[in-house]
Amino acid sequence: MSLVIRPATPADIPAIARIYAHAVRHGTASFELEPPTEAEMTKRMQALRDDKFPYFVAEIDGKIAGYAYASLYRTRPAYRFTVEDSVYVAPEIHRRGVGKALLEKLIEACTELGFRQMIAVIGDSDQAASIGVHKACGFEPAGNLKDIGWKFGRWLDTPLMQLALGPGATTKP
* 96-147 pLDDT, tens digit each: 899 999 999 999 999 999 999 999 999 999 889 999 999 999 999 999 999 9
Buried b (16+ CB within 10 A) or exposed e, 35-57: bbeeeebbebbeebbeeebbbbb
Q: Which H, E and C letters describe 44-109, residue by residue?
A: HHHHHHHCCCCEEEEEECCEEEEEEEEEECCCCHHHCCEEEEEEEECHHHCCCCHHHHHHHHHHHH
Q: Is the pLDDT of residue 1 over 90?
A: no
pTM: 0.96
CA angle 149, 8, 69 (to 5 degrees): 35
Tell me the pLDDT band of 84, cut-offs 50, 70 and 90. Answer: very high
Radius of gyration of the chain (CA): 16
Tell me the pLDDT band of 95, cut-offs 50, 70 and 90. Answer: confident
Q: Where are the domains of the chain?
A: 3-164
User: Which CATH number does the domain 3-164 belong to among 3.30.2310.20, 3.40.47.10, 3.40.630.30, 1.10.150.120?
Assistant: 3.40.630.30
**Cα–Cα distance for residue pair 41/38, rounded to 1 Å:** 5
